[in-house]
């Protein structure tokens, strides 16, 4: 396994992050535990979850699955860099959503209880909370750091302006602030290249891309469709139909250079300087094993350039939309 510091921090994490959103709703507990065991066996030490994961009628279930895995001992908790998130509504009662000081206090204590641990390595805001001022957010986070309940703070789905605002406020308090940003980023969805990535690079945040295969569109979907292994319907079919010629060209190029499409998509992300670790979200052990192949794929400068010709990205703002 290869490792990289999370942004400007001294925290060393694996180049792939195990996303657990499917644990519970799609993947049973036994399989979830087996995947996490396999992750450690392969040296993958970075796990990501959220307090809302588990399904609409079972918020928190994924954290509880992780907690019961930690409870098995064997150094499981000590080996894992544990990341979770807060923001979404956990129940309709007031102050059980967002990132107010009270919401933060209640959310962190609930997550710690579910995951049967006394600290969280990376505590992430799942979304910007426009109703809460930054001095309140940072004061609450500072208290959690002082109490030893969290070690680092990250963001998710923030805009470039949000990152700048958060960091300037943190700096004024002599607080470390954010060390990471979790955004949707892949060869199809590259909007963050305009402002989020420049902001993250400027402030020393590591980028944690979610949906690295863009819902499977970058995982050889046309080849699987032609082989009768996958049949797309609804929004997934509409998404593919909208860019089918580009995905066909992408899959053909992957064949040309001798790699599986999903491996190339992950390897492309790993080659981006600001990216610390793409978040893989396996439903099965087979999918987890397949994700590991990307670590052995080294794309050349020419190959990276060709991929951006097939699936173009964006220039940094304002150059992207100005002369």
Residue with tokens 């909370």: 129
- 155-168 confidence digits (pLDDT tens): 999 999 999 999 99
Mean pLDDT over residues 277-293, rounded?
A: 96
User: How many Å apart are CA 217 and CA 184, to the nearest integer?
Assistant: 14
- Is 53 marked active-site? yes
User: How many Å apart are CA 250 and CA 246, to the nearest integer?
Assistant: 6
Mean pLDDT over residues 102-125, rounded?
A: 98
Tell me the C-alpha to C-alpha distance, in Å, between residue 94 and each of 37, 102, 198.
38, 10, 36
Tell me the C-alpha to C-alpha distance, in Å, between residue 226 and each of 213, 219, 220, 230, 245.
19, 13, 10, 8, 15
Model pLDDT, residue 225: 82
pLDDT for residue 112 is more than 90: yes
Enumerate domains of the chain plus CATH numbers.
Answer: 3-219+261-302 (3.20.20.100)
Name the percent of the chain lying above pLDDT 90: 92
Model pLDDT, residue 134: 98
User: Contact 52/59 with Cβ under 8 angstroms?
Assistant: yes
Which has more pLDDT, 270 or 237? Answer: 270
- 83-97 confidence digits (pLDDT tens): 999 999 999 999 999
pLDDT for residue 241 is more than 90: no
Which H helix or E strand runs over 155? strand 150-156
192: confidence class by pLDDT, cuts 50, 70, 90:
very high
- 72-83 confidence digits (pLDDT tens): 999 999 999 999
- 195-229 confidence digits (pLDDT tens): 999 999 999 999 999 999 999 999 999 988 888 77
Model pLDDT, residue 233: 67
Q: What are the residue ranges of helices labelled H in 174-233?
A: 196-203, 221-226
User: How many Å apart are CA 179 and CA 193, to the nearest integer?
Assistant: 18
Model pLDDT, residue 227: 80
Mean pLDDT value across the chain? 96
- 128-142 confidence digits (pLDDT tens): 999 999 999 999 999
- Indicate the DSSP class of residue 205: P
Which has more pLDDT, 120 or 231? Answer: 120
Kindly report the pTM of this predicted structure. 0.96
> Which of 3, 53, 123, 185 is an active site residue?
53
Which residue spans within 163-270 are E strands per DSSP? 178-184, 206-210
Mean pLDDT over residues 100-104, rounded?
A: 98
User: How many Å apart are CA 212 and CA 147, to the nearest integer?
Assistant: 35
pLDDT for residue 191 is more than 70: yes
Model pLDDT, residue 230: 72
Residue 59 has, within 13 A of its CA and on its CB side, a CA count of: 17
Strands 12-14 and 3-5: antiparallel
- Indicate the DSSP class of residue 23: B
320: confidence class by pLDDT, cuts 50, 70, 90:
very high
User: How many Å apart are CA 210 and CA 88, to the nearest integer?
Assistant: 17
Residue with tokens 């049949």: 231
Name the percent of the chain lying above pLDDT 70: 99
């Amino acid at each position: 396994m290869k490792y990289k510091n999370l942004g400007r921090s001294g925290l060393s994490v694996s180049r792939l992050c195990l996303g657990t959103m499917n644990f519970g709703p799609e993947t049973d507990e036994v399989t979830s535990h087996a995947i996490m065991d396999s992750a450690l066996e392969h040296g993958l030490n970075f796990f990501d979850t959220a307090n809302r994961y588990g399904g609409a009628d079972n918020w928190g279930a994924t954290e509880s699955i992780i907690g019961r895995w930690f409870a098995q001992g064997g150094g499981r908790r000590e080996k894992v860099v544990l990341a979770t998130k807060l923001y979404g509504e956990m129940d309709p009662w007031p102050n059980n959503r967002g990132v107010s000081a009270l919401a933060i206090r209640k959310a962190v204590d609930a997550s710690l209880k579910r995951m049967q641990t006394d600290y969280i390595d990376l505590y992430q805001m799942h979304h910007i909370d426009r109703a809460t001022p930054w001095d309140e957010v940072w004061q609450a986070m500072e208290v959690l750091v002082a109490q030893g309940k969290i070690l680092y703070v990250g963001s998710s789905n923030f805009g470039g302006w949000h990152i700048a605002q958060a960091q300037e406020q943190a700096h004024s308090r002599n607080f470390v602030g954010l060390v990471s940003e979790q955004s949707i980023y892949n060869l199809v969805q590259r909007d963050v290249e305009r402002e989020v990535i420049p902001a993250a690079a400027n402030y020393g945040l590591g980028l944690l891309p979610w949906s690295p295969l863009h819902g499977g569109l970058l995982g050889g979907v046309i080849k699987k469709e032609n082989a009768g292994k996958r049949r797309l319907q609804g929004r997934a079919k509409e998404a593919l139909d909208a860019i089918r010629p580009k995905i066909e060209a992408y899959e053909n190029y992957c064949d040309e250079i001798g790699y599986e499409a999903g491996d190339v998509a992950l390897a492309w992300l790993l080659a981006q300087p600001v990216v610390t670790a793409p978040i893989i979200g396996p439903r099965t052990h087979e999918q987890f094993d397949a994700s590991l192949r990307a670590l052995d794929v080294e794309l050349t400068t020419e190959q990276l350039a060709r991929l951006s010709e097939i699936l173009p990205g964006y220039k940094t703002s304002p150059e992207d939309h100005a002369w």
